[in-house]
Chain A
Amino acid sequence: MSDAPPALVRLKGVRKAFANGTLALDGLDLAIGQHEFLSILGPSGCGKSTALRLISGLIQPNGGAINWPGGNLTNAVGEIGFVFQEPTLMPWASVSDNVRLPLKLKAVLRAEADRRVAEALAMVGLSGFDRAFPRELSGGMKMRVSIARALVTRPRLLLMDEPFAALDEITRLKLNNDLLELWRTQNWTVVFVTHSVFESVYLSQRVAVMAARPGRIVREIAVDAPYPRDEMFRTSEPYNRVCRDASAALHEAMAA
């Protein structure tokens, strides 16, 4: 890692135990580089979401350290965007009011907020839906709103917790491509939690495989294929090889 670019955030020996005695994470080591697209791949209940919540600063570790070499992003509001597994929209608010929420909480001026909401909605391909209510949208569109809300503060780090797990295959593939396109054009770092081997390999530059009880990283697999990646990549030999590798690592992790 000596010649790698400086990390955005580095987790060292992180340990997290919950009040009920569950040891969710122990000895978790992970470095996330600037502008990297990293996937955390693991079975259900291995503590992937806990790791993400630790990075976001929503919860604090019981042991180990989380270092931010270039400055702690959790100290400044809006530097981190979070996308949950469910769209987590406010059902009583229109699409634009949902996307506007982070700016409203920061008391950004109305005109500036309007502009940035429109920009975020355009980025996820939802221009023209600003006055719709969440329940009028399909599952994929709701997730796009959720992503727009995470983008509206122009975060440097985007944390995504199995965001497409509840969507159908076609919608998921489309959103995967759109997410990659956004990542390439914007200046973010993305940490993408998933339990899908294929999704993690397709999207990311590096896959960190987690094992459960206690949660820890057991292997890191680099995906060297260049971007842009498309449907050709999905059927290519390198893709299949990395998928086999990641799949084997996941099985090992589940047996461990």
Chain B
Amino acid sequence: MIAQRIARVIAPLIVGVLALGAWEAVVRLNGIPVYILPAPSVVAVTLITDRAVLFPSLLVTLQITCMALAAAVTGGVLLAVLFAQSSWIERSFYPYAVILQVTPIVAISPLILIYVENPYLALLICAWIVAFFPILSNTTLGLSSADHNLVDLFRLYGATRWQALCYLRLPGSMPYFLGGLRIAGGLSLIGAVVAEFAAGTAGAGSGLAYRILESGYRLNIPRMFAALVLISLTGIAIYLVLSLVQHLILRRWHESAIKREG
């Protein structure tokens, strides 16, 4: 059992180490200059030497991502609860939520940057637009998936709408919501980065995407890679944290979180 677990962690690690090793070897053997392709070791060194520039940027990106995710959770769940109250509300507003979702954020963000004066707020809005839809659509599905017999049981015992929402529909939609949350976590990071790119160097941003643009203009390729590594690590961290949250909440009762023998 334990050997199997270790193997499961080690296998992808070996692939990663081999790929990085090959990259390092190709760069060194061919004498490729750093402004074309920096070796992984150079990127790692840059991460440390440029930390005074990169880590404040990481914090900015992380802050926008987290706030956008929080806003997406609040907005997505509230809208879903509103939709669950009446099929007319859902029918009237859902198409616009879809339109907001299918229009690429890079196409909307320049407009938002024009109309919203505060660049920080503009980035937040962009990231929110990208992130809220999976939460809205999943939670809406979850709220309407309550067991019909349980719905009858609540009616039989004279439950109010509010009681049915709190004790039946919301807990029942938890697995759906958490699935949406995991997607929204990654999307809010993507939204934050894309919006920052759209804002470009003209914006007052100082997040990781801004660092990538800035380093590009200065041909500081190692720093571009270093910033990219930080963005990836942030995404992985968000995914892992949200997976852990999902596991902790569902482990006692949902099929998805229960381990089976054999």
**Which chain A residues have a beta carbon within 8 Å of chain B's beta carbons?**
53, 56-58, 77-78, 80, 82, 84, 86, 88, 90-93, 101-102, 104-106, 133-135, 153
Is the pair B253, A91 in contact by a Cβ cutoff of 8 Å?
Answer: yes
Which of B20-28, B118-126, B149-157 faces chain A?
Answer: B149-157
Q: Name the contact of A80 in the complex, choosing from B147, B156, B254 (C-beta under 8 A).
A: B156
Is the pair A88, B171 in contact by a Cβ cutoff of 8 Å?
Answer: no
Is the pair B152, A77 in contact by a Cβ cutoff of 8 Å?
Answer: no
CA distance A77 to B253 in the complex (A): 29
CA distance A57 to B159 in the complex (A): 14
A58-B155, A77-B158, A102-B157 known; A133-B150 Cβ under 8 A: no
A90-B171, A92-B172 known; A106-B253 Cβ under 8 A: no
Is the C-beta of B163 less than 8 angstroms from some C-beta in chain A?
yes
- Size category of the binding interface on chain B: 20 to 34
Is the pair B156, A88 in contact by a Cβ cutoff of 8 Å?
Answer: no
CA distance A105 to B150 in the complex (A): 13
Beyond known contacts A80-B156, A82-B156, A106-B157: 13 more, CB 8 A cutoff: A53-B152, A58-B155, A77-B156, A88-B149, A88-B150, A90-B171, A101-B153, A101-B157, A101-B167, A105-B163, A105-B167, A133-B252, A135-B255
B157, B171, B174, B252 pick with most chain A CB within 10 angstroms: B157
CA distance A144 to B147 in the complex (A): 19
CA distance A91 to B255 in the complex (A): 10
CA distance A91 to B258 in the complex (A): 13
Closest to A74 in B: B156
Is the pair B149, A135 in contact by a Cβ cutoff of 8 Å?
Answer: no
Is the pair A92, B158 in contact by a Cβ cutoff of 8 Å?
Answer: no
Interchain Cβ contacts under 8 Å between A and B, 5 examples: A58-B152, A77-B158, A82-B152, A105-B154, A105-B167
Is the pair A86, B149 in contact by a Cβ cutoff of 8 Å?
Answer: yes
CA distance A230 to B153 in the complex (A): 32
Is the C-beta of B66 less than 8 angstroms from some C-beta in chain A?
no
Is the pair A135, B157 in contact by a Cβ cutoff of 8 Å?
Answer: no
Q: Name the contact of A106 in the complex, choosing from B149, B153, B158, B174 (C-beta under 8 A).
A: B158
Is the C-beta of B168 less than 8 angstroms from some C-beta in chain A?
yes
Which residues on A sit within 8 Å (CB–CB) of B171? 90, 92-93
Closest to A86 in B: B149
Give me the 5 closest cross-chain CB pairs, A-B, nearest first: A77-B158, A88-B149, A105-B157, A91-B253, A102-B157
Is the pair B147, A88 in contact by a Cβ cutoff of 8 Å?
Answer: yes
Closest to B163 in A: A105
Chain B, interface SS category: helix
CA distance A86 to B168 in the complex (A): 17
CA distance A104 to B149 in the complex (A): 18
Closest to B154 in A: A105
Closest to B171 in A: A92
Is the pair A90, B168 in contact by a Cβ cutoff of 8 Å?
Answer: yes
Is the pair A56, B156 in contact by a Cβ cutoff of 8 Å?
Answer: yes
A57, A84, A86, A91 pick with most chain B CB within 10 angstroms: A91
Which residues on A sit within 8 Å (CB–CB) of B252? 92, 133
CA distance A102 to B155 in the complex (A): 10
CA distance A86 to B174 in the complex (A): 22
* Min CB gap B167→A, angstroms: 7
* Min CB gap A68→B, angstroms: 16
Q: Which of B163-220 contact A (CB under 8 A)?
A: 163, 167-168, 171-172, 174
Is the pair B156, A58 in contact by a Cβ cutoff of 8 Å?
Answer: yes
CA distance A102 to B154 in the complex (A): 8
Closest to B155 in A: A58
Q: Name the contact of B253 in the complex, choosing from A78, A102, A134 (C-beta under 8 A).
A: A134
Q: Name the contact of B167 in the complex, choosing from A82, A84, A104, A135 (C-beta under 8 A).
A: A104
Is the pair A135, B258 in contact by a Cβ cutoff of 8 Å?
Answer: yes
Closest to A59 in B: B152
Which residues on B sit within 8 Å (CB–CB) of A86? 149
Q: Name the contact of B157 in the complex, choosing from A78, A92, A93, A133 (C-beta under 8 A).
A: A78
Closest to A149 in B: B153
Q: Mark B221-262, 1 if CB is under 8 A from A, else 0.
A: 000000000000000000000000000000011110010000
Which residues on A sit within 8 Å (CB–CB) of B153? 82, 84, 88, 101
A84-B149, A104-B167 known; A91-B254 Cβ under 8 A: yes
